[in-house]
Amino acid sequence: MASVGGGETKNTLARGRARTLPSRPAKRRFCFLCLTALLLLIAGSSVGRRDARSPVTPNAPAAAPFRQAAETANIVLIVIDAARADHLGCYGYPRPTTPTIDRLAAEAITFTNHYCQIPMTAASTASLFTSQFPDTHGIFYRAPADWQPPFTLAGTLSQAGFTTALFSSNPSASPAVGIGRDFAQAYYRTKPVHQGGSFSPKALLFKFDTWLRANRGARLFAYIHFLPPHTPYDQPDHLTRLFDSTPPSYAACDYTPLQCEFPITGPYHDHPCPALPDWINLYDANLRYADWAIGEVVSKLAAAGILDTTLLIITSDHGEAFGEHGYVWHVGAIHDEATHIPLLIKFPEEAIPPRRIDALTQTIDILPTICDLLRIPYPRDSVQGHSLLPLLAGIGDNAASYTITKSIGPAKYMIRDRDHALLLFREEKPRALYDLRADPAQRTNLIAQRAEEADQLLRLFRRHAQAQRTPPIDFLDPNAQPIPDPLPQLTDLPPTVKHDLQTLGYLR
């Protein structure tokens, strides 16, 4: 199927410009930019240097079983859109939302503290495919026609001899918006099978099965992006009836849609807000639909005779906010309900025993992990994630000491370590600090009482921000001109793609 081309998205950054009589704020901005450029040069890379480490895990004996298990394996990477970790059974949710995933988790490595880089599908998928933060890859709603990231998951696996294919029922995770153009095949604009008017996983499952049959004997890499549990919620009726009750621990006072402690602007503040608690019931039913689809993938791999030789990875692009902090939907949200996502890695056969890993991990870690397992070197100057192989092998305690997530509407960041999370807005205030051990729901703002912890995380954020290809200078210099939030540049898309994006809530 032909890919859909696209125009350019402008991701502008405020820059100091020489004037005949520059103002003092302009001079400060110009000096600040010069300082930032100098820091980047010192760092020796346009994306900055990370903590010193080898591009791949050393040949430690403990890593050998993992590499042996992946040495000749196929790879299937499944994303279930908008799946928040705390609604999966294997992450502690008491409802039967994910019986298939739970069974797989009993044979897999489950990462319990995994976070996305941004709760937006196109931008998050770009981070997954490139192992770059949004402020480096620069993609929010779509990629420019000439976007050519230096190192991608599909590109490197193709060079390693894999036959690659992308299957996506969300156009925001497809070549329709310029994402994933380096897959050998992409199925994303075939006429979908409908269940109540929305995209059903059945269309992708049919295409995936056809692709498996056509590529017998090849070494395969498939990226499968199912729309459920993303809106609209059009799962089969019997699944809707399965969750026709009060959600676990539901208390209306915990949900305050559109009553944000911190401001939200742009096209996100008026996103349609379904009635609670029915909204949560529909979401859980649709998550069960995604779980069914994953079961079908497993069945088709078994029927093709390659399930026992497949490395299976299950994750999400972002979560979904029901108003826990005032935010609804996901674009614009920043707390755990929108950013804490599942990650399961199931190795072929029973080569690797199951366990849970509590270290901090993030979306950008998946690409270097796959490369490390396959002994594929990855470039230090473009890959910003960390391989998780040391964690898998038990020869390390952390992939990274902190994670960083960005959101927009307005721009904001959450930086966290194991103990605290710091919320930063563009303005000097408001900001919040949460004690994650005492307050995992992130309800109590301790910014006034924990200045030392906040300053420590702020220093880490500044180091991170200065290392990005487009540093968020308005977060680093209070006198800098604010950078406007990116707006969708999607007007030249084909009518079918625009209709799909409207259905998904990305266009009005």
CATH, residue 308: 3.40.720.10
Query: pLDDT (tens digit, 0 to 9) for every residue of the chain, 508 residues total?
Result: 433 333 333 333 233 333 333 444 444 444 444 444 433 333 333 333 334 344 577 778 899 999 999 999 999 999 999 999 999 999 999 999 999 999 999 999 999 999 999 999 999 999 999 999 999 999 988 888 889 899 999 999 999 999 999 999 998 888 988 999 999 999 986 444 444 445 689 989 999 999 999 999 999 999 999 999 998 898 999 999 999 999 999 999 999 888 888 877 666 666 677 899 999 999 999 999 999 999 999 999 999 999 999 999 999 999 999 989 878 878 889 999 999 999 999 999 877 999 999 999 999 999 999 999 999 999 988 999 999 999 999 987 888 899 999 998 888 999 999 999 999 987 656 689 999 999 999 999 999 999 999 999 999 999 999 999 999 988 888 788 777 777 666 666 666 666 666 666 665 5
CA-to-CA separations, 393 to 187, 354, 471, in angstroms, rounded: 35, 12, 34
Is 9 inside any structural domain? no
Give pLDDT, residue 351.
77
Host domain of residue 141: 61-403
Tell me which DSSP letter residue 332 carries: T
Residue 399 lies in a domain: yes
Residue 16 lies inside a defined structural domain of this protein:
no
Residue 268 is predicted with a pLDDT of: 61
Sign of CA dihedral 394, 221, 320, 427: positive
pLDDT tens by residue, 451-490: 999 999 999 999 999 999 999 988 888 788 777 777 666 6
- Beta pairing class for 109-115 and 355-362: parallel
3-state percent helix, strand, coil for the chain, nearest multiple of 5 = 35, 15, 50
Structural domain count, the chain:
1
Confidence (pTM)? 0.86
pLDDT of residue 480: 81
**How many C-beta atoms surround the C-beta of residue 13 within 10 A?**
16
Residue 479 lies in a domain: no
> 392 by DSSP, 3-state: which?
helix
Determine the Cα–Cα distance for residues 429 and 258; give it in Å rounded to an integer: 20
Bond preceding residue 277 cis, omega within 30 of 0: yes
Nearest to 132 by CA among 372, 406, 373: 406
Residue 131, in any domain of the structure: yes
d(CA 115, CA 328): 18
Do the domain assignments include residue 465? no
Residue 259 counted as domain residue:
yes
Burial label, 337 (beta-carbon count in 10 A; 0-12, 13-18, 19+)? buried
In a domain, 334, yes or no: yes
